[in-house]
Chains A and B, each alone.
Chain A
Amino acid sequence: MYDNPIEEARRQSQICNACRYCEGYCAVFPAMHADRFFSDGDLTQLANLCHNCQNCYYACQYTAPHEFALNLPGVLAEVRQESWEDTAFPAPLSRAFHHHGTLIAAATVLAMALLFWAARHLPGDGTGFYAVIAHSVMVAIFLPAFLLPLAALAVGLRRYWKRVGGQSVTLADLRAAFGSAATMRNLAGGHGDGCNFEEEDVFSQSRRGMHQLVMYGFLLCFAATATGTILHYGFGIEAPYRLLSLPKLFGVSGGLMLCAGTLGMMHLKAKAAPDLQAPEVRGGEFGFIALLFTVSASGLALYAFGGSAALEPLLALHLGAVLAFFLLTPYSKMAHGFYRLAALTRDAQRKR
């Protein structure tokens, strides 16, 4: 949308800083109003604080056709996107997957094929899932697929932290950041009425609600995996688990929330104005949400039909989707959660 997003963000921020009418909406404005000259690092930080609620856009008297042509949510979305791609390790992977939903789909299909191959050609070593794919095979695939992306993310976040001038982190910083993320305070609109997102200047809690479904659904699914791992190694209790077990309770409820949340997010995103987001990564964003939906839907299907002959294909599909999701975490919209937490932590430091 903009040839030079960071310069455009600087121009727009100077206008915002002379106005200040939007100060109460979110964390971006108090951070912006703390100074009057904006370094690239400052703008990167503001961009990652922005949750794209769009309230400031619809309240702004300077949006096009006014000659000042402000579109702060749009330009910050582009700066934010650039900051993820520039700091990612390795950066070219990030550029590819953020921009192309088809590449996300292709990676997912490849991962699924790998799991099909493993299911077909490698011997099982247990019952249930492990009769299809051996536990040792799963560990051999997923342990690196989990740890390597985390290492890559750590490199990216380190680069981000340096760029925004972050200091050493205290417990209070983290408490503030996680507290804000836990409640999605920045999507509450300051007044608690929510965001302008899907229908111009109408305030609603839909986006905040859907995002919470996705976030908590995902965390519950992650908790399911974590408790499963603990039961397996700590207590020698192997999958499949009963319905009234922690992995199942977390997994089924989380899977349902994730399914509903991802469908809701796609619906809202389709209704929202593309120019107030980063239009050039729209494909990658939809691709990522679709992948999350595939992960949750295939997981639920596996639970429902795992006792049937469909176990093998369902297991391969689900584990393939999970594998693609893990591997793409540093290079897809999933990264935003980590950068957002970093930005909220940095903002807590500014206020202390």
Chain B
Amino acid sequence: MTTHPDRYDIVVLGGGNAALCAAITAAENGAKVLILEAAPKPYRGGNSRHTRNFRCKHDGPLSVLVESYGEEEYLADLLRVTGGRTDEGLARMVIRESEACLPWMEAHGVRFQPSLSGTLSLARTNAFFMGGGKSLVNAYYRTAEALGVEVLYDAPVRHVALDGQRVTRVEYEHDDATHVLHPRAVIVASGGFQADIDWLTEAWGPPARNFLIRGTPYNRGAVLKDLLDQGVTSVGDPTQCHAVAIDGRAPKYDGGIVTRLDCVPFSIVVNKHGARFYDEGEDVWPKRYAIWGRLVAAQPDQVGYAIIDSRALRLFMPSVFPPIEAGTLEDLARKMDLPPAQLVATVDEFNAACGDTSGFHPTELDGVQTTGLEPPKTNWARPITEPPFYGYSLRTGVTFTYLGLKVDETAQCSTAAGKIENLWAAGETMAGSILGQGYLAGYGMTIGTVFGRIAGREAAAHVR
């Protein structure tokens, strides 16, 4: 074990958006900072690599954002998705701070672009990163390095030693050896634990073995578990994760945005026995994709199959993999390993329950519904009759976990005995303090940016 001389005032654990905002801010406030990133350089940046925008309050047009988006409306959007499970004080602070973050981000190398095609509904609320989250991460690494921040890749942290109300030691692995640091302050920004399938299975149950992890394989929650084991105060439901239905052919880890599958509202979804199990047309997809993660998780083998016909193919954003195609439903069933007779019977029964489809409208709740069918399809219920037929498999894709470190408005961590003098947390690892359930697009990056800057500022003030 190698003990290094104390060259660093602050060690930041993690290498994504929150970690970088913290490191940059601390360095700008005069601290000597080291980033320990568990991933190798090509995979640096945690789940921030996969993000695309930042939800931002603004009182008038700001950068690429149009019109205005006020604090109350923002908060109402947040309360709606979290079902009220949020710390309103912290949530309001994040919302208020978000407006100052955007120019700060631009000044530190981030570039924005107008809302992407297919996402016009977000043009007012979410500022999109030009090139996506990895370009943001690249810009921040360049900025941090120019400020003298040092970065170690392939450097997973093994232990953060807590002695009373103080962190005394950080142990990490690098180049096949264990190293020890004694920084004067530590910032944890190492995400959730969703890539640790064993932990996920322990929390959720055996079906979690079949879940796909949408983001980085490096968010295994090692630091989180280590700190919780030492009595650091936690927040968030330890058994829950944010899960959505994604393309079943996606890789086990790191599939990201492209595995999104938006076809469900225009399809019928069956399980591996060829039977439907839920109303596919309950609401527009952005409001329903999260519950489908759970619905699919409850089916045998945690898999679903969306079936559409040729008329529906162009109604949704393309997915990364072309759909399975066949001239008849029987052939489609065979290609997808579904029982052909059962699939045909399910489609026939659905088609027979469809009524007048003249009001069909793909972008609004059109009320075109089935009658006498169980479960019903309450919108976009158009018969599946026009070959070729197409199918996509659906699996549960985990975005993030809710369990995290509880922080106060200064991003400081605590134990039951009180505040920990020199430990701060930012980003996904403390987001459970604000997001008790659900998710609001672009809010994770807002939490990471706001709390990253706070943690950096507070830690730098502590070591000065």
How many whole Å from A46's CB to the nearest CB in chain B? 15
Instruction: Choose among B114, B130, B319, B322 the residue that contacts A25 (Cβ–Cβ < 8 A).
Output: B130
Taken together as a complex, chains A and B put the C-alpha atoms of A64 and B133 apart, in Å, by 17
Q: Mark A55-95, 1 if CB is under 8 A from B, else 0.
A: 11011111111111000000000000000000000000000
* A36 in the interface (beta carbon within 8 A): yes
Q: Cβ of A58 and Cβ of B138 under 8 Å apart?
A: yes
Q: Which of A1-47 contact B (CB under 8 A)?
A: 14-15, 17-25, 30, 33, 36
Q: Which residues of B contact A22 (CB under 8 A)?
A: 130-132
A275 at the interface (CB under 8 A from B): no
Complex Cα distance, B260 from A8, in Å, reads 22
Residue pair B114, A67 in contact (C-beta under 8 Å): no
Which chain B residues in 254-308 approach chain A with CB under 8 Å?
254, 256-258, 260
Task: Assess whether B131 is in contact with A59, with CB atoms less than 8 Å apart.
Answer: yes
Knowing A19-B132, A21-B131, A36-B318, say if A67 contacts B251 (CB, 8 Å). Answer: yes
Q: What are the residues of chain A within 8 A of B132 when measuring CB–CB?
A: 19, 21-22, 59-61
Contacts of B256 in A (CB 8 A): 19, 61-62
CA distance A61 to B135 in the complex (A): 9
Contact A20 B116 (CB under 8 A): yes
B406 within 8 A of A: no
- In the complex, A18→B258 CA distance in Å? 5
Residues in chain B near residue A36, CB distance under 8 A: 314, 318
A352 close to chain B: CB less than 8 A? no
Q: Is the CB–CB distance between B134 and A202 below 8 Å?
A: no
Q: A18-B317, A20-B117 are in contact. Are A201 and B138 (CB under 8 A)?
A: yes
User: Among the listed B138, B257, B258, B314, which residue makes an inter-chain contact with A59, where contact means beta carbons less than 8 Å apart?
Assistant: B138
> Is B113 part of the binding interface, using a Cβ–Cβ cutoff of 8 Å?
yes
Chain B residues in 8 Å Cβ range of A14: 318, 320-322
A242 at the interface (CB under 8 A from B): no
Q: Would you give the shortest CB distance from A42 to chain B, in whole angstroms?
A: 14
Task: List the A residue with the shortest CB-CB distance to B314.
Answer: A36
Chain A nearest CB from B350 CB (Å) reads 26
A25/B131 contact (C-beta < 8 A), A14-B320, A61-B49 known: yes
In this assembly, does A121 line the interface, its C-beta being within 8 Å of a C-beta of chain B? Answer: no
Given contacts A21-B52, A190-B113, contact A59 B135 (CB under 8 A): yes
Determine the chain B residues whose CB is within 8 A of the CB of A24 once the complex forms: 113-114, 128, 130-131
Q: In the complex the two chains form, what is the Cα distance from A20 to B257 in whole Å?
A: 9
Known: A18-B317, A21-B132. 14 other contacts (CB 8 A): A15-B320, A18-B260, A18-B319, A20-B116, A21-B116, A22-B130, A23-B116, A23-B117, A24-B130, A65-B42, A66-B254, A191-B130, A201-B138, A201-B139
Pick the 5 closest A-B CB pairs, nearest first: A59-B131, A21-B132, A24-B113, A59-B135, A18-B258
